[in-house]
Every structure is written in structure tokens, then in C-alpha cells.
Amino acid sequence: MAPAMVPALSHVWPRHAALGEDCALLLAGCDARELAARFGTPVYVVSEQDLRDQARAFRAAFAEHAGENHEVHFASKSFPATAVLRVMAEEGLACDVATGGELSLALGAGFSPDRIHLHGNAKSEHELREALDAGVGDIVVDNLDELDALIALVPAGRRQRILLRVAPGVSPDTHPKISTGGPNTKFGLKPSDARVAIERARASDRVELDGLHIHVGSQILDLEPFHAAVEVLASLGEFRTINLGGGLGVAYLHEQSAPSVEEYVARKVEIVRELFGTDVRIADEPGRALVARSTVTLYTVQTVKQNVARWVAVDGGMSDNLRPMLYDARYEAMVVGRPYDPAHPGPFDDDVEICHLAGKHCESGDVLIHDVPLPAPVRGDLVAVPMTGAYGHSMANTYNAQPRPPIVFVSDGEAREVVRRESYDDLRARDVR
């Protein structure tokens, strides 16, 4: 039990996180300070049970509202680590991949090929061949050029099951860089081209048109744009499968809220049943909502200095979390051992300073969090940033020749490294000598 006056952790932290004695941050029973000492920083710490709980929540919600005629795909781009993929396969999810590399990871993690579908707006001939050779369940065709190329590649006597991705002209309330279903998007077929593709696919003996696919965007907190998007699909005819993409957003800040998995699934199924009836098979592709909350990134403070603002620089930054630089994404942070919750009084309130939590890279834009309240940070402090499971590892890079961090799974007080920290040798490994 947390000591008196120490604030409880909010919903932005993993379900299996808690504050222990001396305000220790416990992640699935593992002390964050001990994890940092053992594995170094920066480090992604993943609560394995959080991953499993969320996968089960999606499966249970779809089973309740859609019966057996559904399929939940993990959008692997959100966290393409073999250990994460393996958890999703073990929990009975299918898998959405967007490149040959993601396909290889999914196969290696244990997904059955017929439980994988290949996505992407610019698949190469090589990637299409890889998918055909692997025997993937569906290929989501993005455009007419790709449809023609795929038909030419499918061997005689075989039919490849496909979905057609439609751009419904719907722009949800999200950041423009993660809005994917508007009238001027690079993704999918506009409705007039979709009608051409439907006719062309149905006339071919090399592909089997299973249904339609939409994906209107990511980090969506208002579910109503899905109705307008599915209306566009309904105008194109009747189909066996409707894939609604993903998009469910999460609360990155304690004052934010997001639809629950139950609310999200119930509304999506309701929309499809209203417009397509009860016989259509419903597929969905959650990513962020499956993995974001599972993960906390730990950093070590390197410098604290004051100019116009107070700058706290850590040993990571845009090389391990690019989202703040791409989308102006916001996070919270904690100085481990001195927790502060602006919503509740606590023993460290008097020490709080408004800081910019900066990265170590040679870019002025390398700032993880602007104007974050932190209790008197000093060099050597351990800082924890929650909600980093989605698109942290997948967008990690080696800018400034910074090796990428390890991934550590924690569960029931035990920790295991599932992705090792990159080394300087790794940075040189592709050099041709």
C-alpha cells in the first residue's frame, strides 16, 4: 500500500503499476530503480499482463457484440517487437502488417499465415510475392495499379483473397499527420475508383474479393466519424467482410479521457449492423489502444539548467520517442521516488518546478515534454514517462549514432530482456568493408 499523502497513480500508468514504500515506482512488482540499474537507461519497460489484459478485452467485447463472426487484428506497426507479437498471437489475435519486414516478424512470432493480412499503400512486387509465397489470409489492395500487379503475380490455378481499401473522404478530429481517410489522402481508393476495382476484382479468376476496408485515422476519441465512413462502404454494395481499421485513441494525460474498449466496439458493431445487417463479418485493427498503456520509458537526468525556462535533459529523446516531434504529442512524467499528481495533494508539491524535459540530440526540437511539473529534478534522477508502448520502439532511430534502447518485460516481480540494447558494433554492422 502506498504511504499516506502519496498520490495514487492515474490511468496513464500501466494497470499493474503502483507506488510502494519510499515512493518507489513498482512496475508489475519490479522496482523501477532496480530495473534502471540492471538494464540501463533509456529502457522501455513493458507490463506483459497489461498487453494480455487489453488483448482479452478486445476479444471479449467483439465476442459479446458481434458473436463469432469477427476478427481482431493487431496493428503490428504500433509495437513490432517479436515478444509483443508473440503475446498477441498467444491471445488469439490475427495480425495486420504493412511491409515485408513486418510480415517476417509476424511469421517468426508464431502467427499462422492465414491469420495475417498485408496492408500498405505502396507495396513492392517483392512484398506482394512474399505475401503470396507465405500464404497470407488477405492482401488489402490500396489502388488500381496494385490490383493489376497482384492479379498478374498470382499463379495460375490459385486465387488470393483480397480486401479493397476505400478512402471514404472522412476526416476525424485528430492530428493531420495521422488522419488517413480524408478526401486528399495517399491511402485507398476514392469511391469511384473503388467501383472500378470491385468490377475488375470480380471479373478476375486470380483474386477473390472478400470485402472492403477503411481506416480513417489514429488517436480517435470521437467515434461518430466511423458512421459516415461506413455509409460510404454501404453505397458500394454488399460484401462478406467489412474491416473497420483501428484508430481508438488513448488518454496520454491524466485529465484526458478516451472511449473504453467496450464503448468503441459496441458503437462500431452497431454502425455495421445498421448499414450492412447481421450476416457481415466484422474485422478491426487496434494498435495504439492495445499497447500504449503497457509501457513506461525510464531515463536518467544528465543536466538541469535555467535560462528563460528550466531545462531538464535526459539520456534519450527523439531517438526513442519521435511522437512529440512529429505530432506535438503530450506525455506526463515522474521523478521516481518523488511522485507528483497535479490532481491530488502530495508531499512533494512544494518542490514542483515547471520544466522542459529535453532529449540529448543535436536538435532544438528534441523535447520530450514541454512545461511538465517535476519535483526539483537533479542530475542522476530517474525519470519515468508512461504511455510509451505505441510507436516508441517502432519509430526508434539511431540519430547521433545513439544505440536504440532495450525492451524489458515485467510480470509478477520478474523482469526479462526481450530486445537487447543496441551496441556500437551494431551501428557498424551494415558497413561494407
- Measured between alpha carbons, how far is 213 from 226 in angstroms, rounded to an integer? 12
pLDDT of residue 2: 43
Is the sign of the CA dihedral 298, 299, 305, 311 positive or negative?
negative
- Measured between alpha carbons, how far is 299 from 25 in angstroms, rounded to an integer? 13
pLDDT in tens, 259-290: 899 999 999 999 999 999 999 999 999 999 99
Q: 38: domain range?
A: 17-47+292-428
- Measured between alpha carbons, how far is 325 from 319 in angstroms, rounded to an integer? 11
pLDDT at residue 389 greater than cutoff 70? yes
Last residue of a domain, one of 289, 320, 335: 289
pLDDT in tens, 68-93: 999 999 999 999 999 999 999 999 99
Note whether 336 and 382 are within 8 A (CB).
yes
Taking only Cα atoms into account, the Rg of the chain, rounded to an integer number of angstroms, comes to 23
Catalytic positions are 362
Q: Is residue 99 part of a domain?
A: yes
Q: What value does the mean pLDDT take over residues 349-376?
A: 95
Note whether 339 and 373 are within 8 A (CB).
no
Note whether 219 and 175 are within 8 A (CB).
yes
Q: Is residue 202 part of a domain?
A: yes
Q: Is residue 80 part of a domain?
A: yes
332 & 255 share domain: no
Q: Is residue 43 part of a domain?
A: yes
Instruction: Give the pLDDT band of residue 175 (cuts 50, 70, 90).
Output: very low
DSSP label at 412?
A: T
Instruction: Give the pLDDT band of residue 1 (cuts 50, 70, 90).
Output: very low
pLDDT at residue 179 greater than cutoff 60? no
CA distances from 117 to 100, 141, 423 (A): 11, 10, 33
Instruction: Give the pLDDT band of residue 3 (cuts 50, 70, 90).
Output: very low
Q: Is residue 10 part of a domain?
A: no
**Which residue carries 511538465 as its cell?**
372
160 & 300 share domain: no
Q: What is the domain count for the chain?
A: 2
Given phi > 0 = left and psi -120 to 50 = alpha, else beta, which region is 426?
alpha
276 & 160 share domain: yes
pLDDT in tens, 211-259: 999 988 768 777 877 888 899 999 999 999 999 988 888 999 999 988 8
Q: Percent helix, strand and coil across the chain, each rounded to 5?
A: 30, 25, 45
Q: Is residue 5 part of a domain?
A: no
pLDDT of residue 180: 53
- Measured between alpha carbons, how far is 329 from 202 in angstroms, rounded to an integer? 43
279 & 297 share domain: no
Give the closest residue to 72 by CA, choosing from 86, 84, 54, 46. Answer: 54
- Measured between alpha carbons, how far is 170 from 220 in angstroms, rounded to an integer? 12
Q: What is the mean pLDDT of the chain?
A: 92
Question: Where are the alpha helices (H) located in 178-260, listed in sequence order?
Answer: 191-203, 225-234
Instruction: Give the pLDDT band of residue 153 (cuts 50, 70, 90).
Output: very high
